[in-house]
Chain A
């Protein structure tokens, strides 16, 4: 009986090894958003075109809020997806031009095309902090009541759109019916 105690280290190790194995399959890099199921933070800022915007200007249907910048290379990668979404009228996309320079942002939109209903200009990143942004690109799914329902960090390409956003949107639509 007293010899059983010598098995304790082996048993403890087994538990730790199991844990490590589980840990291999955890995504430790994507920080979950704290704003899920919270209303969009309030803001009163200008658009890239210089018009004043605040929460009341947001679409009153389900829409995407995409955080982008002209300096951000991955934003260019996901750009065609947003172009297609807005051209096909699948869902409105509102931009947040995060910590950019106005001229550079305007150039970028002109060169690459503008998929956004409008882009909120967040020069100092203050609005980004309220959103819990930690770097462009990030995309939020906001429902018709202005409540944030989903966040995707990094590039949103067609695969992500099909696999993550379509189901989330379908669910939202079913909910509101």
Chain B
């Protein structure tokens, strides 16, 4: 099923090659902007939005099909003066949370965003307990005595 799907998209991409008929002037950027800020916003948005039909790539990383259309829409909306937030809302209304590579912070994603901090806390606690135990041992210092060291070295063949 998935395979057939893909071949359908490939056909779509091929079709694009066949049907595009726009005549163009010399050296046209695929999307032109009024200024660099817009250009940068366009790049960030198409980097951080996921192509809904692809396996796992962002809009800027895929050619043809709906990714191309969505890039064109972003371009249009930026030129129309819409803010990033409004553009994201536009995408959300049509494709849902799936389209964002940067998941929004909601009740369901709290664990995702704060998970690493929790891990760090756990790691810190574990490290502290290891250290504390070590200090207890350290006070009653037990290490290999010279004789034992010599035997270990002899055993594992050091020096």
Contact = CB atoms under 8 A, between A and B. Distances in A.
Contact of B94 (A32, A73, A130): A130
B96 to A, nearest CB: 5
B66 A34 contact: no
In terms of DSSP, what is the predominant structure of the interface of chain A?
A: loop
B96 A135 contact: no
A124 interface: yes
B53 interface: yes
A125 B72 CA distance: 10
A72 B73 contact: no
Interface string A108-145: 00000000000000001110111111111000000000
Nearest to B18: A101
B8 A31 contact: no
A34 B92 contact: yes
Contact of A72 (B8, B19, B53, B98): B8
Given A29-B2, A34-B94, A99-B12, A134 B66 contact: yes
Contacts of B69: 99, 124-126, 128-129
Contacts of B70: 129
A74 B8 contact: yes
Interface residues of B, number: 26
Interface residues of A, number: 29
Among B2, B15, B92, the most chain A Cβ lie within 10 Å of the Cβ of B15
A72 B52 contact: no
B144 interface: no
B33 interface: no
Interface of A: 29, 31-32, 34-35, 69, 71-75, 77, 99-101, 124-126, 128-136, 154-155
Given A34-B92, A73-B4, A131-B94, 17 more contacts: A34-B93, A34-B95, A72-B8, A72-B11, A73-B7, A100-B15, A101-B19, A125-B66, A126-B73, A129-B69, A129-B70, A132-B94, A134-B53, A135-B65, A136-B12, A154-B5, A155-B1
